[in-house]
């Protein structure tokens, strides 16, 4: 048994057989075979070995011809490894004695070698590890005949372990089969994490290198509550986790009773509980959890899931589905927030060499690509004829951007009117507050908008200069940093003064640790991951606003995020314990 600690990004527990999607994304058809199949597996392995040797020699010859002997010699290490009789013996032994499939035997043996090299504290041997991985990749490629795994075609339940999963890949995970996932890279605020929460798949990211310690088929536990991944758990651990799975199920059932009661504080203040979604198919889950509307519809996922550019009709079809499903409840449609880690099918990550989070993303990308933006605006306006639709522009950092976006919206309205197509000409217009610039200039922005929503995922990264997806700086990515709290406070105060509705749709709002603080700062509209609604609602119903205000006041005097988190957690615990005693 081995345990790794990463970043918990999507709650829940998953126990199951692992499916490894490493850098190359290979999937083994079986990891064990019948004893009678061993001869065949050995033959397959030998053939793959020969095939790979031929390919490497061809690469060596062509490189030598083009660049000279020195460069051709790069392949010598691969060839000598391939020719090593010990390698053949070790792999054959695993097939014949342990009944491993050829793929599994290759992977286990070569990864064993790599681990051995890494432990020898010798820089030269450590470098050779890359040759071993490369050889493994080539052999597996030949044996499986496959490139990257197709996530949408799983046929049994698995726990996916990967070096990385992009948000686009994550949306293609089939929830019926993927019990959970864990990745070596990724941070708390990355969109992969957000999608996992939306899809309610337990997930841990930012684990660092751990894939070399596991093989497909090994039993694994992903603990999305505590950020742990346990490989090959022993019986006692398995039992402990099975008990926790059951406790979780009971807790979820208990919270389900709250679906139809309002999120009202003990002193009678009504809090609106809204949901964040990425896809129309999430609306039943929202209603099931008691969502009073959609506070953030991330429409860019229409692009991430598509293989061709979505048309105005595709946009309209998706929006109409959400609006109809929500039956008169408000639906905030956010315009395209593409770019950075959310790349559409036709966007290449390498196109932008500089930091993509500071580049042409979100509203900037939309304003620079009107052939992308205009059809979306028309579709949102058309959907506004079907229900309570509101439009929200992401990542606004200058007044020019907001005014230009509003102008384009007005033009789209005129166009539709000229074509005799219905829309709500009074559609409420809002912006996301996700850049320090927007928060600093909030007193100006509120004059131009009907509502705002604080996007803490980006606000944290831009305020603290911390990449939201980078595990190396995850410790600095803190919602409770006093700088972030001041910007939130300032935004809420300005909104109140201008009588502009303020909500929050960043992940901070889905974290129960911050519920009392946010209520104390004046937040009354909370837009959270659908699965978080019951828990957050339960907290709202256990507190009074003066109690939350006192907590907010105390929090704002504190300096360190860690100190603040500890304080807020202890206050939350006290509230929960008091109400448990009372019930």
| Nearest approach, Cβ of residue 62 and ligand PEP (Å) | 45
Report how far residue 311's alpha carbon sits from residue 572's, in angstroms, rounded to the nearest whole number.
Answer: 47
Residue from the set 298, 315, 329, 378 that interacts with ligand PEP by CB under 6 A: 298
Which is nearer to Mg ion, 161 or 302 (by Cβ)?
302
Q: Is the dihedral of CA 284, 285, 286, 289 positive or negative?
A: positive
DSSP string, 464-505: HT--TT-GGGGGG--TT-HHHHHHHHHHHHHHHHHT-EEEE-
User: Does 505 engage in binding with ligand PEP (CB under 6 A)?
Assistant: yes
What are φ and ψ of residue 180, in 5° steps?
-175, 170
The stretch near Mg ion (CB under 5 A) out of 16-24, 326-334, 452-460, 488-496 is 452-460
Q: Which of Mg ion, ligand PEP, none lies near 456, with the C-beta cut-off 5 to 8 A by kind?
A: ligand PEP
- Cβ contact 138:123 at 8 Å: no
- C-alpha 163/C-alpha 157 separation (Å) is 19
User: Do residues 329 and 287 lie in contact, with contact meaning Cβ atoms separated by under 8 Å?
Assistant: no
Does the footprint of ligand PEP cover residue 503 (CB under 6 A)? no
Residues in the chain: 583
Given candidates 22, 92, 136, 458, which one binds ligand PEP under the rule CB under 6 A?
Answer: 458
Parallel, antiparallel or unpaired: strands 228-231 and 219-223: antiparallel
CB atoms within 10 A of CB 182: 33
Count CA atoms closer than 13 A to 45's CA, side-chain side.
27
Q: How far is CA 543 from the centre of its chain?
A: 31
Binding residue (CB under 6 A) for ligand PEP from 41, 103, 292, 434: 434
Residue 370: strand, helix, or coil? helix
Residues 350-369: x/- map of binding to ligand PEP (CB under 6 A)? --------------------
Residue in 103, 149, 292, 337 binding ligand PEP, rule: CB under 6 A: 337
455 touches Mg ion (CB under 5 A): yes
Give one DSSP letter per residue of 167-204, joined into a string: HHHHHTS-TTTEEEEEESS--TTSHHHHHHHHHT--EE
In angstroms, give the least distance from the CB of 162 to Mg ion: 24
470 binds, among Mg ion, ligand PEP, none (CB under 5 to 8 A by kind): none
Work out the angle at residue 391's Cα, subtended by the Cα atoms of residues 387 and 392, and round it to the nearest 5 degrees: 145
Q: How far is the CB of 574 from Mg ion (least distance, A)?
A: 33
Q: Which residue is nearest to Mg ion (CB)?
A: 458
* Total of chain residues touching ligand PEP, rule CB under 6 A: 11
Position among 295, 387, 455, 561 found at the interface with ligand PEP (CB under 6 A): 455
CB closer to ligand PEP, 95 vs 195: 195
The interface region with ligand PEP, picked from 28-36, 116-124, 455-463, 480-488 by CB under 6 A, is 455-463
Q: In this chain, which stretch among 73-81, 207-215, 457-465, 516-524 interacts with Mg ion, using CB under 5 A?
A: 457-465
Instruction: Please check whether residue 442 is in contact with residue 416, taking contact to mean a CB–CB distance below 8 angstroms.
Output: no
Contact between residue 359 and residue 339 where contact means Cβ atoms under 8 Å apart: yes
Task: State which of residues 183, 283, 397, 457 lies at the interface with ligand PEP (CB under 6 A).
Answer: 457
Q: What is the CA radius of gyration of the chain?
A: 27
Q: Which residues contact 319 (CB under 8 A, 6 or more apart)?
A: 297, 299, 331, 333, 379, 380, 382, 383, 389
Number of H helices, E strands in the chain: 23, 17
213 exposure class (CB count in 10 Å sphere: 0-12, 13-18, 19+): middle
> Is 456 near ligand PEP (CB under 6 A)?
yes
* Candidate list 198, 339, 506, 530; residue touching ligand PEP; CB under 6 A: 506
Cβ closest to ligand PEP, residue 192 vs residue 457: 457
**Rounded-to-integer distance, Cα 272 and Cα 263, Å:** 7
Instruction: For residue 127, count other CB atoms closer than 10 A to its CB.
Output: 11
Nearer to ligand PEP, 456 or 470 (CB): 456
Q: Which residues share a beta bridge with 264?
A: 270
Give the Cα separation of 103 and 41 in Å (integer): 9
Q: How far apart are CA 418 and CA 19, in angstroms?
A: 55
Query: CA 511 to CA 59: how far, in whole Å?
Result: 53
Who contacts 82 (Cβ-Cβ below 8 Å, separation ≥6)?
Answer: 49, 52, 53, 56, 135
Cβ proximity to ligand PEP: between 377 and 505 the closer is 505
Among the residue ranges 24-32, 452-460, 532-540, 567-575, the one whose residues contact ligand PEP (CB under 6 A): 452-460
Interface with Mg ion includes 458 (CB under 5 A)?
A: yes
Q: Is 292 in the site for Mg ion (CB under 5 A)?
A: no
Closest CB to ligand PEP among 26 and 301? 301
Site string for ligand PEP, 186-205 (x = CB under 6 A): --------x-----------
φ, ψ at 233 (rounded to 5°): -65, 145
Question: CB of 330: closest distance to ligand PEP in angstroms?
Answer: 17
- Nearest to ligand PEP of 136, 458 (CB atom): 458
Nearer to ligand PEP, 217 or 455 (CB): 455
**Which of these is catalytic: 505, 509, 540, 548?**
505
Q: Which is nearer to ligand PEP, 72 or 455 (CB)?
A: 455
Of 107 and 474, CB closest to ligand PEP: 474
Closest separation between CB of residue 406 and ligand PEP, Å?
20
- 548: annotated active-site residue: no
Residue labelled with tokens 């060596």: 60
Active site residue: 31, 78, 163, 191, which one? 191
Residue 525 designated active-site: no
Please report whether residue 15 would count as binding ligand PEP according to CB under 6 A: no
Binding mask of the shown chain, residues 399 to 438, with x at each position contacting Mg ion by CB under 5 A: -----------------------------------x----
Site for ligand PEP in 138-177 (CB under 6 A): none
> Which residues have a catalytic role annotated?
191, 505
Binding site for ligand PEP (CB under 6 A): 194, 296, 298, 337, 434, 455-458, 505-506
Binding site for Mg ion (CB under 5 A): 434, 455, 458
């Amino acid at each position: 048994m081995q345990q790794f600690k990463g970043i918990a990004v999507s709650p829940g527990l998953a126990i199951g057989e692992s499916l490894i999607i490493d850098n190359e994304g290979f999937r083994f058809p079986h990891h064990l075979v019948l004893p009678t199949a061993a001869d065949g597996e050995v033959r397959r392995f030998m053939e793959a070995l020969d095939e790979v040797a031929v390919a490497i020699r061809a690469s060596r010859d062509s490189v030598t011809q083009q660049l000279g002997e020195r460069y051709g010699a790069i392949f010598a290490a691969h060839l000598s490894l391939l020719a090593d009789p010990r390698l053949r013996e070790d792999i054959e032994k695993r097939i014949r004695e342990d009944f491993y499939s050829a793929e599994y035997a290759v992977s286990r043996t070569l990864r064993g070698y790599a681990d051995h090299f890494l432990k020898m504290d010798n820089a030269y041997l450590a470098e050779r590890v890359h040759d071993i991985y490369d050889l493994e990749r080539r052999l597996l490629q030949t044996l499986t005949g496959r490139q990257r795994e197709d996530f949408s075609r799983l046929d049994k339940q698995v726990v996916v372990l990967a070096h990385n999963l992009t948000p686009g890949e994550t949306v293609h995970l089939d929830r019926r089969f993927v019990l959970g996932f864990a990745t070596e890279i990724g941070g708390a605020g990355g969109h992969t994490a957000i999608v996992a929460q939306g899809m309610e798949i337990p997930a841990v990211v930012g684990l660092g290198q751990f894939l070399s310690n596991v093989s497909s088929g090994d039993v694994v536990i992903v603990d999305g509550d505590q950020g742990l991944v346990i490989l090959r758990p022993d019986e006692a651990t398995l039992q402990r986790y099975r008990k926790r799975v059951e406790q979780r199920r009971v807790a979820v059932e208990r919270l389900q009773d709250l679906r139809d009661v309002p999120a009202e504080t003990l002193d009678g203040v009504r809090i609106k509980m809204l949901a964040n979604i990425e896809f129309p198919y999430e609306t039943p889950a929202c209603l099931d959890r008691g969502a009073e509307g959609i506070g953030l519809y991330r429409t860019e996922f229409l692009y991430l899931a598509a293989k061709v550019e979505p048309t105005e009709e595709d946009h309209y079809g998706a929006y109409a589905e959400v609006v109809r499903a929500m039956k008169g409840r408000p639906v905030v449609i956010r315009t395209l927030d593409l770019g950075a880690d959310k790349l559409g099918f036709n966007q290449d990550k390498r196109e932008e060499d500089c930091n993509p989070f500071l580049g042409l993303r979100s509203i900037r990308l939309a304003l620079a690509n009107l052939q992308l933006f205009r059809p979306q605006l028309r579709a949102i306006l058309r959907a506004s004829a079907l229900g309570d639709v509101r439009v929200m522009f992401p990542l606004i950092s200058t007044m020019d951007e907001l005014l230009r976006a509003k102008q384009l919206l007005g033009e789209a309205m005129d166009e539709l009117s000229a074509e005799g197509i219905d829309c709500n000409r009074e559609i409420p217009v809002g912006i996301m507050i996700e850049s320090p610039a927007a928060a600093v200039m909030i007193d100006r922005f509120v004059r131009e908008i009907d509502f705002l929503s604080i996007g803490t995922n980006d606000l944290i990264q831009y305020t603290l200069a911390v990449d939201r997806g980078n595990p190396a700086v995850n410790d600095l990515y803190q919602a409770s940093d006093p700088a972030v709290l001041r910007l939130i406070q300032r935004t809420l105060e300005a909104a109140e003064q201008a009588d502009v509705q303020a909500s929050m749709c960043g992940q901070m709002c889905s974290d129960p640790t911050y519920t009392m603080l946010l209520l104390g700062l004046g937040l009354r509209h909370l837009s959270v991951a659908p699965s978080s609604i019951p828990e957050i609602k339960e907290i709202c119903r256990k507190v009074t606003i003066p109690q939350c205000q006192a907590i907010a006041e105390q929090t704002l005097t504190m300096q360190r995020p860690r100190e603040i988190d500890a304080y807020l957690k202890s206050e939350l615990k006290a509230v929960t314990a008091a109400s448990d005693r009372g019930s």
